[in-house]
Amino acid sequence: MALFEGVGVQVAYDVVGSGPPVLLLHGFPQCRAMWAPIVRVLAKHFTCITADLRGYGESRGPVGPQAMSFREMASDQMALMRHLGHETFHLVGHDRGGRTAHRLALDHPDAVRSLTVMDIVPTHLLLTDLRHDVARAYYHWFFLANPTGLPEHMIGLDPDTYYESCLTGWGPDGLKAFDADLLDIYRMHWRKPEVTHAMCNDYRAGIDVDIALDAKDLDRRVDCPSLVVHGADGLMDKSYDVAESWADRLSNMRAAALPGGHFFPDTHPRETADALLSFLTDLA
C-alpha cells in the first residue's frame, strides 16, 4: 500500500503493471481490494491504479456530509493521479466509484481518456424519478442518509450482517460467490465505526450536495469514449434501461451486459476484466 498526502486527505492506493494508466474506483461497501482479480488481467497491458475513496478502506480525510460529495472525492483522485505524473488516464468506477468517476469526467474533462461506469444510472435520475420498486430495493440510499446518527448506531450493532445483506441483496449471487479473502478485507474495514460514518455521509451528500451539482450539469455531456456496463441479473437492469439512462449524458458511448447482479466485478471478475480489456485496447 502507498499513501498520498493531499490537502487534508490521505488516499490509500496501489499501482500494478505498465502501460497507459487506468484508475479504478470501488463502490459501497467495499474498498480498492475488489479490483485485485481484475487488475491481474489488466496489468499485463496497463498501469493500474486502485485507490480507496475518501473515508473508505484505508483513506482518511474530512468526512462530513459536505466533504463526502462526489466532487470532493473526485478531486482527491485527480490530485492523486497528478501526484503520480498522470495528467491523462482511463477511468473506471463501480457503484459509488462510478458516480465519482462521472463527476471527475465532468469537472476535469481534459484528464479523462475514457470513462467506464458500472451498474449505475445517473444520480440525478435515480433521486428525482424515483419509483416505488427502486426505493424499496435501494432503501439504503435513504436509510444511510438519515442525518441523526441512527444508521451508524444500528449498523454498529452487527456490521457484518448489515453489509453482507447489501452484497447479497442486489442480485442473485449469494455470499459464496464472493472471494473469501476479499470478504475478509471488506469486513476488516466496514467494522471500523469511522468507515461506517464516512459511508453514511457519502449517502447524505448524495441528497444534500450531489443532486444540486448534477442538476446544474444536466445539459453537459462527457465526450470521451465511454463504456456503460451493467449486471444482466441485477436490480438496476430489472428497473431501468441502464444504457438508455446514460444516452443523453455520454456522447460517445457503448454498453455491455455482464452475467451476475450488481456486484459482478466480484462474482464474475474474468468477464469484467475481459470487457474492460476489449474496450480499453480498442482505444490504444
Residue 29 preceded by cis peptide, ω within 30: yes
pLDDT in tens, 95-146: 999 999 999 999 999 999 999 999 999 999 999 998 898 999 899 999 999 9
State yes or no: pLDDT of 40 exceeds 90: yes
Confidence band for 225, pLDDT divided at 50, 70 and 90: very high
Q: How high is the pLDDT of residue 30?
A: 98
User: Quick check: is 132 catalytic?
Assistant: no
Q: Rounded to two decimals, what is the model's pTM?
A: 0.98
User: Quick check: is 95 catalytic?
Assistant: yes
Cα dihedral 22, 29, 217, 85 in deg (nearest 10): -30
Element counts in the chain: helices (H) and strands (E): 15, 8
The closest of 101, 117, 99, 1 to 59, measured between CA atoms, is 1
In the structure grid, which three cell numbers stand for residue 242, read together? 441502464
CATH number of 2-283: 2.130.10.10, 3.40.50.1820, 1.20.120.420, 3.40.710.10? 3.40.50.1820
Confidence band for 169, pLDDT divided at 50, 70 and 90: confident
Count CA within 13 A, CB hemisphere, residue 144: 24
Confidence band for 7, pLDDT divided at 50, 70 and 90: confident
Q: What is the mean pLDDT of the chain?
A: 96
Q: How high is the pLDDT of residue 211?
A: 97
In the structure grid, which three cell numbers stand for residue 227, read together? 463504456
Q: How high is the pLDDT of residue 170?
A: 86
Choosing from 237, 262, 266, 268, the catalytic residue is 262
Choosing from 95, 214, 237, 266, the catalytic residue is 95
State yes or no: pLDDT of 284 exceeds 80: no
Q: How high is the pLDDT of residue 106?
A: 98
Residue 20 preceded by cis peptide, ω within 30: no
Alpha carbon 17 to chain centroid distance?
A: 21
State yes or no: pLDDT of 6 exceeds 90: no
State yes or no: pLDDT of 84 exceeds 90: yes
Q: How high is the pLDDT of residue 237?
A: 92
Q: How high is the pLDDT of residue 172?
A: 87
